[in-house]
Amino acid sequence: MTKYLIDENLPTDLKVWSSPEFIHILDIPECHTDSEIWKYALDHSLNILTKDADFYYRYISTLRTPKIVWFKIGNMPKPTFENFISFNWSKVEELLISERFIIVYREFIETLK
């Protein structure tokens, strides 16, 4: 079963992410820095969901990486964000089967090779 680690810059209570496969970083007291989040994701085979560009830079400069979904969508009201995620989540999950880094924009989704 695929599991996800939701970074602090994403909402904690989206309906689409309300199952046990989704862990919010705020629920893990020992993870405060990006390095701790990265290590925790690797150690527990979690995919990172984030809006933080720092994970992109770490990904392109590191050999051992977790899978990452980077939401590069700017700010939007929470109900709009939840609708956006609900609409796009199945495509993201499909891409995670074969891809390691996914960038979700408002208009499209791409993968990083």
Q: What is the pLDDT of residue 30?
A: 82
Nearest residue to 49 via CA among 102, 86, 13, 94 = 102
Encode pLDDT of 29-75 as tens digits. 888 899 999 999 999 999 999 999 999 999 999 999 999 999 999 99
Closest to 2 in 3D by CA, of 98, 112, 109, 103:
98
Residues 6+ apart with CB under 8 A from 28: 5, 40
DSSP states of 31-97:
--SHHHHHHHHHHTTEEEEE--THHHHHHHT-SS---EEEE------HHHHHHHHHHHHHHHHHHHT
In which domain, by residue range, is 96 found? 3-111
* Average pLDDT score over the chain: 93
Domain total of the chain: 1
For residue 29, the model assigns a pLDDT of 85
What is the percent of the chain where pLDDT is above 90?
84
Answer with the residue of higher pLDDT: 5 or 12.
5
pLDDT exceeds cutoff 80 at 113: no
User: Is 24 a residue whose pLDDT tops 80?
Assistant: yes
The residue among 44, 43, 42, 46 whose CA lies nearest residue 22 is: 46
31 CB neighbour count, 10 Å cutoff = 20
pLDDT of residue 32: 82
Q: How far apart (Å, rounded) are the C-alpha atoms in residues 29 and 31?
A: 6
